[in-house]
Amino acid sequence: QFLTQIQEDLFSLGAALAGVPWDEAGARTEALERHIDQLEHDLEPLRNFILPGGTRLAALLHLARAICRRAERAIVRANEQAPSPSLTALIAYMNRLSDTLFVLARTANRRSDVQDLVWRKPE
Give pLDDT tens digits for 10-63: 999 999 999 999 999 999 999 999 999 999 999 999 989 999 999 999 999 999
Q: What pLDDT does 117 receive? A: 87
Q: What is the pLDDT of residue 123?
A: 85
Q: With contact defined as beta carbons under 8 Å apart, do 77 and 21 qualify?
A: no
Taking residues 78-91, report their average pLDDT.
Answer: 95
The predicted structure's pLDDT at residue 115: 92
CATH class in words for 52-123: mainly alpha
SS3 of the chain: CHHHHHHHHHHHHHHHHCCCCCCCHHHHHHHHHHHHHHHHCCCCCCCCCEECCCCHHHHHHHHHHHHHHHHHHHHHHHHHHCCCHHHHHHHHHHHHHHHHHHHHHHHHHHHCCCCCEECCCCC
Q: Where are the domains of the chain?
A: 52-123
Its pTM stands at: 0.93
Q: What is the pLDDT of residue 38?
A: 96
Q: pLDDT for 93-105, tens place per residue?
A: 999 999 999 999 9
